[in-house]
Structure 1
Amino acid sequence: MLNMMLLLLGLLTASPDHTPATVDSIPRLPVKLAQTQQSNLKPITEFESMGEVSLFDDRDSVVRKKGKPLSINKDVYSGYTEYQYKDITVGLSEDLVYYVHVDVDASAEGCPGKIQLNGQWLPLEKQEIAQALGEPDFTAEDGDVYIRDLAAVKIYRHPATKAIVGVDLFDTIAF
């Protein structure tokens, strides 16, 4: 996960003649949603929260929603502070949520193999993911990336088995 964050940081770091983008100047990527009839999942056209934690939350909001974390760890290289809960890990940068991570084996207490995205339970199965998220915007060695405006979801896969091992919701703009 640290490699992904360092890569994102490198991609998002401004060069000397770079003019910062505004929300209005960033092109919206089209969302290609799969058509299926069997499930009642609604297409997710924007990413706001995962596991009850929003990308708009600050440290106090996270603690109010999730309670006292099991552990708090500060990464000296990235500067992120991670709040570890039973079901999720929340990455904070300057006391603002930058990412939320769910390990599949810890996802959805009592409902392994599901995540709660924007308040909707999403089974981590190929058909349900395609119905809710559409086709990935990017496919990497370690998973699929779905982008909505300034937020993204990455579904991590085991390199050998391709089984889903974790999911991240993150802000695509560095603070």
Structure 2
Amino acid sequence: MKVILLISYLIVGIISPIQLNNVMPIAEAATVELAEQSAIKVIKPSQEIITLNTVNSISLYDDVSTVINILGDPEQISSDSYFVEYEMYEYPNMTISFIDDTIDSVEVGTDASTITLDQVEIPATIEALQLALGDPDYVAEDGLVYQRDEAVLKLFIDQDNKQLQSIAFYHIAST
């Protein structure tokens, strides 16, 4: 019985057309080519492209001097009254928190119109970020969480009005 099943699978495999990705009959390919020439292509960003290595050109592994080399001097440097070891470098539309010369987090405020993730500029809206990043890895009660290896990007969303409050970029060990 097993031999008959094996032979039938082999025959069906030989007789049925081979299905390969991106392979189509010549007539169908010509139709697609004509359609592509006359239409504007819309490419949806893939979450595989956005690996969360940088946000606004800043990596979680940068130190203070690297950040200053990239962004220039901050508008203001402040410290947290509760956590004195934190030092916040405030830039337009973005605050970078350091602990002992190491980045703890990068926060992008709602006044930013765009955010750059891995050198890809994206409108700073919930819809545009979801399109670029795909489905969130976690849905928290205060927002959407995207994790790529050790990096986490969280969209903080106001639960009452469903508006974006801020975007935080941090190392998973910080949670």
Please report the TM-score for the alignment, with normalisation by the length of structure 1.
0.68
- 1:125: how far off? 4.1
| Shift in CA distance, 69/125, structure 1 to aligned 2, threshold 3 Å | closer
Match status 1:41 vs 2:45: yes
Deviations 1:109-149 (A, max 9, x none): xxx1x211111112234553233211111112221111111
**What's the counterpart of residue 170 of structure 1?**
170
Q: Could you tell me which residue of structure 2 aligns to residue 102 of structure 1?
A: 108
Identical residues among aligned pairs (%): 29
Return the letter of the residue paired with 1:59.
V
Amino acid at match of 2:45: L
5 Å matches for 1:21-170? Answer: 38-43=42-47, 44-78=49-83, 79-105=85-111, 107=112, 112=113, 114-170=114-170
Structure with the bigger percentage of helix: 2
> How far, CA to CA, are the matches of 2:55 and 2:67 in structure 1?
12
Equivalent residue, structure 2, for 1:27: none
> 1:84: how far off?
0.4
Q: Structure 1: give runs of 5+ residues left out of the alignment.
A: 1-36
2:80 is matched by which residue type in structure 1?
D
Amino acid at match of 2:138: F
Structure 1 position 75, deviation (Å) = 1.8
Q: How many residues align?
A: 132
Structure 1 residue matching 2:82: 3-state secondary structure: coil
Counterpart CA distance in 2 for 1:84 and 1:65 is: 14
| One-letter code aligned to 2:54 | S
Comparing 138-147 with 43-52, greater Cα deviation is found at: 43-52
SS of match in other structure, 1:60: helix
Native 8 Å contact 1:41 1:128 kept in 2:
no
Question: For residues 116 and 50 of structure 2, what CA distance do their matches in structure 1 show?
Answer: 15
Task: Flag the 1:77–1:126 CA change in 2: closer, same or farther, 3 A.
Answer: closer
Deviation at 1:87, TM superposition (A): 2.3
Give the counterpart letter for 1:173 in structure 2.
A
SS in 2 for 1:173: helix
Letter in 2 for 1:91: S
Distance 1:39 1:129, change over 3 A: farther
- Contact preservation (8 Å) 1:39, 1:128: no
Aligned residue type for 1:38: V
SS state at 1:129 partner: helix
